[in-house]
Amino acid sequence: MQTVPSAGPKLARVPGRNPYSALPNWLYPALVAVTLTAFALYSAWVVFGNSGGRFGPYLSPFYSPEITLRLGGFLVPPALWVAWAPLAFRATCYYYRKAYFRSFFWHPRSCAVPEPRSHGGNYRGETGFWALNNLHRFALYAITVQMAFLWFDALAQFYYQGAFRVGLGSLLMIVNVVCLSGYTFGCHALRHLAGGRSDCFSCSRVRFRLWKGVTVLNVRHDRWAWVSLFTVLGTDLYIRLLVLGVLPHAPWA
Ligand code: FES
């Protein structure tokens, strides 16, 4: 008579498939990890390896607002005054948190998926160092100020050397600031500020309308997060190629 081996106290590991996608399970986290790593490396190079991002009327989003400060003859990298705000904002964003916890740490890998053995099968939430993610609302305040500078730059570049002009950089800067606005003003924390802690929407039509407006953007917050990341990259890259002389002519000439 054949005996059936006991599974013991451990649960059997059953390979699962994502019911919402026909793509392999590893593809999305791998894309997230590769894209975020590449963007982080490019950003570090822009911040620490370059001393400016202006070409004529165009200003890279990494340098808005433009601050030039020398300490003891040493030029503080101008992008350093700017980069901390979007870094804090994106690193603590509810969507990006989900994306990088799942992609880089597998901790947790997904909803209702067991933790890897390396984590002891125990998800403790965002505790310890990760409790800093609760400061997201303050990053939102900082980035809102920065958005005002970005909108000013995007509109001011149309008027250069006493004349109205439009170039490819104009288009990129406008698209970038629109996408960044879509991302920023669809923020979960902003949605809570607009309509949270309210038991009575009809008591404040202003708050209700604001909440509805934020919700429209919030529904696709993940898409805005990615699109705006690429528009920042594309806008800076275009202006940087002009600054470095790789693109040969002034586009407004
Ligand atoms: Fe993503 Fe606030 S939750 S920007």
Q: Which of 97, 98, 136 to mutate to test the pocket of ligand 1 (most atoms within 8 A of CB)?
A: 136
C-alpha–C-alpha distance, residues 189 and 192, integer Å: 5
In this predicted structure, what is the pLDDT of residue 110? 76
Please tell me the distance between residue 46's alpha carbon and the centre of ligand 1 in angstroms.
24
With CA atoms as reference, report the closest residue to 235 among 154, 131, 145, 136.
Answer: 154
Instruction: Give the pLDDT confidence of 57-104 residue by residue, as tens digits.
Output: 999 999 999 999 999 889 999 999 999 999 999 999 999 999 999 899
- For the cut 50, the answer to whether the pLDDT of residue 44 exceeds it is yes
Q: Which of 87, 93, 222, 226 to mutate to test the pocket of ligand 1 (most atoms within 8 A of CB)?
A: 93
Whether 90 lines ligand 1, by a CB cut-off of 6 Å, is no
Instruction: Give the pLDDT confidence of 214-232 residue by residue, as tens digits.
Output: 999 999 999 999 999 999 9
Please tell me the distance between residue 161's alpha carbon and the centre of ligand 1 in angstroms.
38
Please tell me the distance between residue 190's alpha carbon and the centre of ligand 1 in angstroms.
8
Return the domain boundaries, the chain: 27-116+124-243
Whether 136 lines ligand 1, by a CB cut-off of 6 Å, is yes
Task: Give me the phi and psi of 133, to 5 degrees please.
Answer: -60, -20
CA angle 192, 193, 195 (to 5 degrees): 65
Q: CA separation (Å) from 41 to 36, 38, 224?
A: 9, 5, 21
Confidence of residue 142 (pLDDT cuts 50, 70, 90): very high
